[in-house]
Amino acid sequence: MTRGAARWFGIIPSLLYYGFWTMAAFGIFSFCRIENEREMLAPALSAGLLAVFLYWQIAPVLTASMGASLNLQKLIVYPISLDKLFAVEVMLRFFTVGEMLLVIAGAASGLLFNPLFGGWKAALWIIPSGLVFIFFNLILAAGVRSLVERGFKRKGMREAGMLAFVLICVSPGIILGLKIPFQKLTSYLPLHGLFPWAITAQIWMGIPTLEGGVAFAVWIAVAYRFARRQFYSALREDPFAGRTAIKPGKTGAFSLEVVFTLPNRVLPDPLAAMVEKELRALSRCAAFRLACFMGFTFGILVFLPQAIGHKSKSSFMGEHFLAVVSIYSMMLIGYYTFWNAFGYDRSAAQFYFAAPVPFRSVLYAKNIVAVFIQFIEVSLITVVYVFVPLSFRPFAVAEAFLVTAVSCLYVFAIGNITSVRFPMPMDPDRMARGASSRSKSALLMLFFPVAFLPIGLAYWGRYVFHSDLVFFAMLLLAGMIGAAIYWVGMESAVNLSLNRREEMIAVLSRTDGPLSIAS
Q: 432-468 b/e with 16+ CB inside 10 Å = b?
A: bbbbbbbbbbebbeebbeebbebbeebbebbeeeeee
Decide if 333 is inside a domain.
Answer: yes
AA letter at 249: G
Among the candidates 205, 236, 267, a domain finishes at 236
Is residue 35 one of the residues assigned to a domain? yes
Contacts 24+ apart (CB under 8 A), 385-391: 385/300, 385/321, 385/322, 385/325, 388/300, 388/304, 388/321, 389/308, 390/307, 390/308, 390/311, 390/318, 390/321
Pair 395, 273 in one domain: yes
Residue 251 domain-assigned (yes or no)? no
- Is there a domain that residue 242 lies in? no
Nearest-CA neighbor of 430 among 518, 495, 511, 347? 518
Phi, then psi, of 518 in degrees rounded to 5: -115, 125
Show which of 201, 236, 271 is a domain's final residue. 236
Nearest residue to 428 via CA among 290, 291, 281: 281
Identify any residues that bridge with 68 across adjacent strands, giving them in sequence order.
Answer: 517
Query: 203 and 132 in one domain?
Result: yes
The predicted-structure confidence for 194-213, as pLDDT tens digits, reads as follows 889 888 888 888 887 888 88
- Domain match, 178 and 266 both: no
The C-alpha atoms of residue 95 and residue 68 are separated, in whole angstroms, by 7
Q: Is residue 13 included in any domain, yes or no?
A: no
Q: 431: closest CA among 302, 246, 249, 293?
A: 293
One domain for residues 220 and 273: no
Looking at residue 35, its amino acid is E
Same domain for 115 and 72: yes
Q: What predicted TM-score, i.e. pTM, was given to this entire model? A: 0.65
Ranges under pLDDT 50 in the chain: 1-2, 64-66, 240-246, 249, 251-254, 311-312, 433-439, 515, 517-519
Cα–Cα dist 120/109, whole Å: 9
Closest by alpha carbon to 259, among 280, 286, 281?
280
Range of the domain at 414: 259-518
- Give yes or no: residues 452 and 404 share one domain: yes
Question: Same structural domain for residues 195 and 307?
Answer: no
Which residues, other chains included, contact 239 with Cβ-Cβ below 8 Å and sequence gap of 6+? 73
Instruction: Among 221, 236, 251, give the residue marking a domain's end.
Output: 236
In-domain check, residue 395: yes
Mean pLDDT of all residues belonging to the chain: 76
**284 and 227 within one domain:** no
Q: What pLDDT is recorded for position 234?
A: 72
250 within a domain of the structure (yes/no): no
Residues 193 and 325 in one domain: no
Contact call for residues 62 and 145 (beta carbons, < 8 A): no
Q: State residue 218's pLDDT score.
A: 93
Q: Does one domain contain both 222 and 341? A: no
Residues 353 and 281 both lie in one domain: yes
Q: How many domains is the chain built from? A: 2
Domain presence at residue 285: yes
Write the pLDDT tens digit of every residue in 30-69.
Answer: 888 886 677 777 788 888 888 888 888 876 655 544 455 5
Q: What per-residue confidence (pLDDT) applies to 385?
A: 80
Q: Are residues 169 and 316 in the same domain?
A: no
